[in-house]
Amino acid sequence: MGEEEKIKAGVLFCPVAPELKAIKLKTHNLNVDYNKTYEDETEKRAAILSELIGEFGEGGFIQGPIAFHYGKHTKIGKNFFANFNLTIQDDAEVIIGDNCNFGPNVTIVTPIHPMRADERKAILTPEGKEKRLCYAKPVHIGSDCWFGASVTVCPGVTIGDNCVIGAGSVVTRDIPAGCFAAGVPCRVIREITEADSMKYKPEILADNSVKKGSKMP
């Protein structure tokens, strides 16, 4: 079984294996290329992202700087927005739905290392060789989600559609659809309901208006 196959299978793999190092080197260099661009160099940025990310839907915008680990293991839907300093350590797959918005300093991680220090240093392979090994769990994020600044999503987490994750949260477990969740560790605070509509906040809505017929998904 190749190292990429081991990642997908959720078993221990060697992150410094040549086949994985080659993928990461290409991606890390593309990160640097993207981070050297100006915001209005849209064609240049689009070309880099098309080579860097597995899938990137139309209408998306990533402010930068960015830090993808593999890049090819990430799939992002339509109309995505990410503010400054997006980090995605996508050893395992990272799937992000449509119409998601991320504040600055959002981090998504998938790899997990052994808890014991001696096992972080080395584990014996079937051939009896000592190697540093880790494993990874995928992260799935639904559509129409908003993440506040400095949200961290940990390995193996699934976040449902229409969620709001409060700033500074560390998401260690699944969050069901339609919820506001926050904290360290992140927990569901409450459901998002009709009462959250801006039409009930006239002092903030000012002379703007909510679209007629708008309702909770």
| Active-site residue set | 113
Q: Give the single-character DSSP code of 136.
A: E
Pairing of strands 81-82, 130-131: unpaired
Cα separations (Å) of 27 from 6, 74, 84, 94? Answer: 20, 12, 18, 15
Strand 101-102 to 146-147 pairing: parallel
Q: Between the CA of residue 10 and those of 24, 97, 189, 210, what are the distances in Å? A: 19, 22, 31, 45
Which candidate, 119, 63, 106, 92, places its Cα nearest to that of 3?
A: 92
Task: Kindly report the backbone phi and psi dihedral angles of residue 3, in degrees, each rounded to the nearest multiple of 5, phi listed first.
Answer: -65, -35
